[in-house]
Amino acid sequence: MDALLHKLLKNDHQNTIDAALDFLFKAESGAYDALMESVESASESTVIEHDGAPHDALLIALPILAWTRFTIPSGAIAADQLMTLSAHLYAHVLAPDTRLAIAPNLFSIDQLPRNHAETFAITQRMGQAALAATSLRPTTNPPETAPFLADTRYLLAVVTAAQGAPLFRWQASQNPTDRDEALIQWRAQATPTIARLLPGCGVELLLPEAYFVACREGDRQIRPTSIRAAVHYLTHTLGVAPAELQANIGSFSEESLSDRVDEYRIGFTLGSNPEVVYGIVWPLYGQEDDEELRGGTVPDTTPPGTAAVDGKTPLEEILALLRECGVTEIKYHRERFAMEFCEDCGAPYYPDRDAELVHAEMPEDAAAAPEHFH
């Protein structure tokens, strides 16, 4: 299967892979998970011959959580900043005797590879650059990125080593604590450089990992930050206390007749005004939808100030985060909604107090946001 996947990816036959995944998703979830794991592995890792010897190459992502009331930047990275980040990766994250090539761009999720075939092509190209010690050119004319108060930015790199040799520091030592130490040092050393790339933003660095694992972790970790950033923005922009906001939560599914929950959407209203002024999407990943179905009931008595902790279902975590932020008026609509979007702008619709799906619109007299930081 790996050989067949390699051939399909090399020849850009993404449609064949998608058709197989779509069929298995509906017919056999275990087989779907197995094929997806194989597809991701085949597209983010490869073996490249260099100087007559085989070398392993792995595409890695370096997720950065960012939040601001301004626009979160993306784009080209200066050569001196790229060298500084490379040095910190060699010093604290990568195993000895590895080679590295970093793409000279800070990517938003809209600018990452769109499918597995594109990921495979990037892995091949950057792996060759790492082994040949050649520099990469910045991406020209990247797609526009949607403005969010909290979002993830990514650095992409390929790390190579002799076939079978470790790629990460914690693999070389086989000491599980080295993984935690690598994250501590990476944050301490690289955050000043990343902060200069993202002026006006709060930032938190996650551990560099294999591409798909890192992207999923970035998506998961940005969700709580999105709620905190939204409440902070609304209270300061509208000049209200958190207790004056109401959060209206709906569960959404891509298939209208399915019990599966694919994401939650939170529509914020203000005081007695029924209009939704802002919205947040909280996507679910992996087994999280099954956790929601097992949970059964919605907790109503989580004390204010209770932080979200491990062991909560996603819905319980959302409720705890809202109350932690001071939002006490929370309404959960128990019906399942279809994932509807605005036909004109593509924005998701959010539930209001009456379970109607509407566009989120800030009041006309509110300050325009987000804006660029100067």
Question: Domain extents for the chain?
Answer: 47-220, 240-358
Nearest to 197 by CA among 60, 59, 61, 66: 66
Cα gap 258→8, rounded to integer Å: 32
Q: Which two tokens stand for residue 276?
A: 């939704």
Segment 206-234 mean pLDDT: 95
Let me know the angle formed at the C-alpha of 61 by 41 and 151, rounded to the nearest 5 degrees: 125
Residue 256 pLDDT > 60: yes
Q: Which two tokens stand for residue 134?
A: 């050649």
Query: What is the per-residue pLDDT across 50-71, written as a single tens digit (0 to 9) for each?
Result: 999 999 999 999 999 999 888 8
Q: Which two tokens stand for residue 2?
A: 């790996």
Nearest to 64 by CA among 178, 211, 202, 224: 202
Query: What is the per-residue pLDDT across 84-122, written as a single tens digit (0 to 9) for each?
Result: 999 999 999 999 999 999 999 999 999 999 999 999 999
pLDDT of residue 310: 56
Cα gap 158→57, rounded to integer Å: 6
Cα gap 136→342, rounded to integer Å: 38
Q: Residue 54 in contact with residue 135, Cβ under 8 Å?
A: no
Per-residue pLDDT band for 289 (boundaries 50, 70, 90) equals low
Per-residue pLDDT band for 344 (boundaries 50, 70, 90) equals confident
Per-residue pLDDT band for 296 (boundaries 50, 70, 90) equals very low
Distant-in-sequence, close-in-space partners of 316: CB < 8 Å, separation ≥ 6: 295, 299, 302, 308
Which of 102-106, 134-138, 345-349, 370-374 is modeled with the greatest confidence? 102-106
Helices (H), the chain: 2-10, 14-27, 29-44, 79-92, 116-132, 169-173, 177-197, 211-238, 288-295, 314-324
Query: What is the per-residue pLDDT across 119-147, written as a single tens digit (0 to 9) for each?
Result: 999 999 999 999 999 989 888 788 888 77
